């Protein structure tokens, strides 16, 4: 980049949008138009000397880095895997070169990343290509500075159309060429090729091959963009090279070099409108923010702490284990610098021996209780001074070993830890009088309850009844659902690591944003603490429904079992694969049916919230905890929270729950067409993909109301499955 262009870039203007918009739809590399649809622009990082650091703690930054390392490695593994013996994939086709060290992923450390609050975003006009509406003359400029320098000459260009009396009527060409390498370029008559003799990349065809002139016209008469074509503007020539225009990706061409001629289909760019969604996909992740008091939970998710994670899972889902020996407890306490705790144990042990020697059975029993209290305190403290022995089933040990098949937002281990953090920080918070951190709808706090005590009691009684009919064990309002969302890069053509083109899979390149002036790569971070609805289903009712459906791998479980249902579900968990690569039609599995039930229920809740609260579907989000049979629906926004969800409950309360049971809430405007095609479409249970955590996958109204099975279920193909609410309310006793 020349000095002139550098000055232009560093002084690029900034736009004013909400933080949520700037951190996603307007992140660097995105194309957009301002109000009125005139003037296409591309977003740029804000190259100001001062940066808008995100107000997040060091622990939150560590969580982001942990997620980034997992995302980058998962993306590379999935993208690189499309290569075959006869078609090798270069690592640079998969991941930004800044993240690579040869053929391996080398994640950037915190010293090379800038965690920014997306308050300002730069922009520049693009593409700088123009076509006359009448004579079709084509002009292209290299930069905004180049355009400004030549703008008067452009305006005065004589139009050569037969009926033209004025200068050319220019319009900005709204078509660009994009490639899954993440590159884009404006339209141009030339085409990128590799020059074998000079060993350089060259743009061939910028001059007419017949007369040598460099002026061209663009024929845009065809309704198909791909069939537009350039032809020579020389009136005595008019030569056209082809009936359609084509362009090769310069980045991929340079990667292939001498092999570029043999891999043309992999280099070919696609002409599309810059308004098309495939021109830009911001890559974002989100996670529940851990409260300060529970930061140690995050450490369990680090790769080197798998044994601590296994112990947590064992304790959380009540998998038993043998008793610890005194030698094991002593070693753990001394290693933790708690020798005084062990001395207390030895002192009580001696007192127990004395009582036994004196034949004092009661005294011995009292000392046994004291010893048990000590051990319980050591093993249940957070973090535990002595880790209890946990004997995990082999199936869960195997699940731990295959965690790389999940992405973080679907990793059952990560979600179990996050739910526990949410439980400790919000759900189990002690009520503080008028406003609780989490207010259960069947046990209202003073702020949300009717002022009349009799009305409050009647409302809560009705709520409990409706919760039973809906199979809900816990339901309430989280006053502040703490969530962190960050955008770390982008792709083009596809939002996932692979893309099928011309009967073969292509690697999609994940690109980082351009470096800031300080050389660091920006990560745009948005935190929020908005109202949310929390719902947890009754495990007994879920198990009864799974048995009625007839899933093939349903584990043995009963309400009185020592192990929680979530632990049994984990034993038979099935990964969806990175970016749903393994989500294909197969046998009816417990884990996928549980996820589909929770996901569909969350969408039903969101649809009803949108209808009654004034919130748009696109302004909400969801978070699913499959092992805990729970989910959260939250207001996804960075503007002032106006209390829509709390107002919804105050105004509608039980009418809102009754709507979830109504047949009209489970119908689809597409009718039978949707029912026979999986029971999910935009006319019923689907929501905007910006709000959906799972790209509208694993959804079906049938899991709630009954009907043809979800499209992933091959076991019940051509049959009818019972719905969760259908099984739940089969008895009139309800």
Is the pLDDT higher at 432 or at 553? 553
At 492-506, the pLDDT tens digits run 999 889 998 878 899
Residue 73 falls in which region: left (phi positive, over 0), alpha (psi -120 to 50) or beta? alpha
- Of 619, 600, 714, 614, nearest to 668 (Cα)? 600
**The two three-digit tokens of residue 520, written as one number:** 């660091």
Pairing of strands 281-288, 630-635: unpaired
Q: Residue 389: left (phi > 0), alpha (psi -120 to 50), or beta?
A: beta
Supply 692's token pair.
Answer: 């959906």
pLDDT band at residue 404, thresholds of 50, 70 and 90?
confident
Q: Are 212 and 233 contacting, i.e. CB atoms less than 8 angstroms apart?
A: no
| Mean pLDDT of all residues in 562-581 | 86
Question: In the structure, what pLDDT confidence band is assigned to residue 579 with cuts at 50, 70 and 90?
Answer: low
Within its chain, how far is the Cα of 705 from the centroid? Answer: 28
CB 602 within 8 A of CB 694: no
In sequence order, which residues have a C-beta less than 8 Å from that of residue 373 and are 6 or more positions away? none
Write out pLDDT tens, residues 424-476: 888 987 766 578 889 999 999 888 889 999 999 999 999 999 999 999 999 99
Q: Scanning the structure block, which residue is given the tokens 């709808």? A: 441
Q: Find the largest Cα–Cα distance for the chain.
A: 121
In this prediction, residues 574-580 reach a mean pLDDT of 76
- The confidence score (pLDDT) of residue 42 equals 94
Averaged pLDDT, 216-241? 89
DSSP tag of 638? S
Which carries the bigger pLDDT value, residue 29 or residue 307? 29
Give the span between the Cα atoms of 315 and 388, in whole angstroms.
8
The two three-digit tokens of residue 186, written as one number? 């404006």
Local confidence band at 627 (pLDDT 50, 70, 90 cut-offs): very high
Confidence of residue 578 (pLDDT cuts 50, 70, 90): low
Predicted confidence (pLDDT) per residue in 65-120, tens digit: 988 998 999 899 889 999 887 788 999 999 999 999 988 999 999 999 999 999 99
Over residues 603-614, the mean pLDDT reads 91
* Cα dihedral 62/67/73/77 (nearest 10): 170
Q: Which residue, chain included where needed, has tokens 């579900």?
A: 569
**Is 335's pLDDT higher than 90?**
no
In the chain, pLDDT over 90 holds for what percent of residues? 50
Q: Is the CB of residue 419 less than 8 Å from the CB of residue 83? A: no
Please state, in angstroms and rounded to a whole number, the distance separating the CA atoms of residues 230 and 243: 8
Check pLDDT > 70 for residue 638.
no
- At residue 7, the pLDDT reads 42
CA of residue 607 relative to chain centroid, distance: 20
Q: Give the span between the Cα atoms of 467 and 475, in whole angstroms.
A: 8
* pLDDT, position 384: 76
What DSSP element (H or E) covers 361? helix 361-380
Compute the distance between CA of residue 568 and CA of residue 214 in angstroms, rounded to an integer.
71
Residue 3: predicted pLDDT = 42
Tens-place pLDDT, residues 683-709:
899 988 878 888 889 999 999 999 999
The least confident of 141-155, 319-333, 678-692 is: 319-333
Quote the pLDDT of residue 381: 73
Residues 408-413, mean pLDDT to the nearest whole number:
88
What whole-number distance in Å separates Cα of residue 64 and Cα of residue 627? 23
Range 45-51 average pLDDT? 88
Residue 733: per-residue pLDDT: 45
Average pLDDT for 537-556? 96
- At 369 the pLDDT is 85
Res 60 pLDDT > 70:
yes
Burial class (CB in 10 A: 0-12, 13-18, 19+), 594: buried
Q: Half-sphere exposure of residue 323, counting CA atoms within 13 Å on the CB side?
A: 6
- Output the average pLDDT for the chain: 88
316, containing H or E segment: helix 306-316
Backbone angles phi, psi at 628, to 5 degrees: -95, 5
**Averaged pLDDT, 628-641:** 84
pLDDT in tens, 344-389: 888 888 888 888 888 888 888 888 888 888 877 877 776 777 777 6
Say how far apart CA 578 and CA 74 lie, in whole Å.
7
pLDDT in tens, 158-199: 999 988 889 999 999 989 999 999 999 999 999 999 998 899
pLDDT of residue 344: 87
Show the CA angle centred on residue 277, arms to residues 272 and 283, nearest 5°: 125
The answer, yes or no, to whether residue 204 has pLDDT greater than 60, is yes
> What's the predicted TM-score (pTM) here?
0.81
The H-or-E segment that residue 75 falls in is helix 58-80
Bigger pLDDT: 292 vs 334: 334
Give the C-alpha separation, 75 to 69, whole Å.
10
């Amino acid at each position: 980049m020349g000095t002139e262009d550098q000055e232009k870039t560093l002084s690029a203007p900034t736009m004013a949008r909400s933080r949520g918009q700037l951190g996603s739809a307007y992140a660097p590399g995105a194309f957009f138009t301002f109000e009125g649809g005139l003037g296409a622009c591309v977003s740029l990082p804000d190259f100001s000397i001062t940066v808008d650091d995100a107000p997040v703690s060091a622990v939150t930054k560590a969580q982001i880095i942990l997620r980034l390392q997992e995302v980058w490695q998962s993306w590379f593994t999935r993208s690189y895997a499309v290569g075959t013996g006869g078609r090798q994939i270069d690592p640079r086709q998969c991941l930004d070169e800044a993240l690579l060290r040869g053929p391996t992923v080398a994640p950037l450390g915190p010293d090379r990343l800038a965690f920014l609050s997306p308050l300002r975003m730069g922009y520049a006009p693009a593409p700088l290509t123009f076509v006359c509406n009448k004579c079709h003359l084509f002009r292209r400029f290299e930069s905004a500075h180049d355009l400004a320098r030549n703008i008067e000459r452009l305006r005065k260009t004589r139009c050569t159309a037969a009926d033209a009396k004025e200068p050319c009527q220019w319009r900005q060409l709204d078509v660009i060429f994009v490639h899954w390498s993440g590159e884009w370029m404006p339209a141009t008559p030339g085409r990128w090729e590799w020059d074998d003799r000079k060993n350089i990349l060259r743009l061939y065809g910028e001059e007419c091959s017949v007369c040598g002139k460099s002026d061209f016209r663009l024929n845009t008469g065809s309704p198909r963009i791909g069939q537009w074509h350039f032809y020579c503007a020389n009136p005595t020539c008019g030569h056209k090279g082809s009936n359609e225009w084509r362009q090769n990706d310069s980045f991929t061409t340079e990667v292939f070099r001498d092999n570029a001629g043999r891999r043309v289909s992999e280099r070919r760019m696609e002409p599309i409108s810059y308004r098309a969604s495939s021109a830009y996909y911001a890559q974002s992740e989100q996670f529940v923010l851990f409260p300060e008091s529970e930061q140690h939970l995050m450490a369990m998710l680090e790769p080197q702490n798998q044994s601590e994670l296994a112990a947590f899972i064992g304790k959380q889902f009540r998998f038993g284990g043998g008793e610890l020996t005194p030698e094991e407890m002593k070693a753990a306490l001394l290693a933790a610098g708690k020798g005084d705790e062990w001395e207390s144990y030895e002192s009580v042990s001696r007192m127990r021996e004395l009582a036994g020697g004196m034949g004092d059975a009661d005294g011995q029993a009292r000392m046994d209780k004291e010893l048990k209290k000590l051990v319980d305190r050591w093993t249940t403290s957070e973090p535990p001074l002595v880790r209890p022995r946990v004997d995990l089933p082999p199936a869960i040990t195997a699940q731990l070993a295959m965690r790389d098949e999940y992405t973080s937002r679907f990793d059952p281990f990560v979600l179990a830890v996050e739910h526990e953090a949410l439980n400790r920080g919000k759900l189990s918070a002690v009520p503080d009088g008028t406003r609780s951190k989490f207010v259960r709808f069947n046990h209202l706090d003073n702020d949300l309850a009717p002022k009349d005590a009799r009305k409050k009691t009647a409302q809560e009684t009705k709520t409990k009844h409706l919760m039973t009919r809906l199979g809900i064990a816990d339901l309430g309002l989280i006053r502040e659902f703490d969530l962190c969302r960050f955008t770390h890069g982008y792709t083009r053509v596809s939002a996932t690591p692979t893309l099928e083109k011309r009967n073969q899979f292509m690697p999609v390149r994940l690109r980082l944003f351009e470096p800031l002036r300080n050389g660091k790569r920006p990560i745009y971070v948005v935190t929020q603490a908005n109202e949310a609805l929390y719902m947890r289903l009754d495990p007994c009712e879920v198990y009864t429904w799974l048995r009625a459906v007839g899933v093939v791998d349903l584990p043995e479980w009963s309400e009185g079992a020592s192990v929680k249902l979530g632990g049994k579900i984990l034993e038979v968990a099935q990964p969806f694969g990175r970016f749903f690569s393994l989500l294909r039609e197969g046998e009816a599995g417990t884990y996928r049916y549980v996820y589909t039930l929770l996901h569909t229920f969350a969408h039903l809740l969101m649809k009803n919230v949108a209808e009654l609260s004034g919130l748009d579907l696109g302004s909400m989000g969801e978070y699913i905890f499959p092992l805990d049979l729970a989910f959260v629906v939250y207001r996804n926004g960075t503007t002032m929270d106006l209390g829509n969800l709390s107002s919804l409950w105050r105004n509608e309360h039980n009418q809102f729950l009754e709507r979830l049971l109504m047949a009209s809430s489970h119908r689809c405007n597409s009718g039978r067409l949707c029912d026979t095609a999986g029971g999910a479409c935009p006319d019923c249970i689907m929501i905007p993909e910006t709000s959906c955590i799972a790209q509208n996958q694993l959804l079906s109204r049938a899991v709630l109301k009954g009907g043809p099975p979800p499209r992933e279920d091959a076991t019940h193909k051509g049959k009818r499955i019972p719905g969760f609410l259908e099984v739940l309310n089969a008895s009139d006793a309800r």
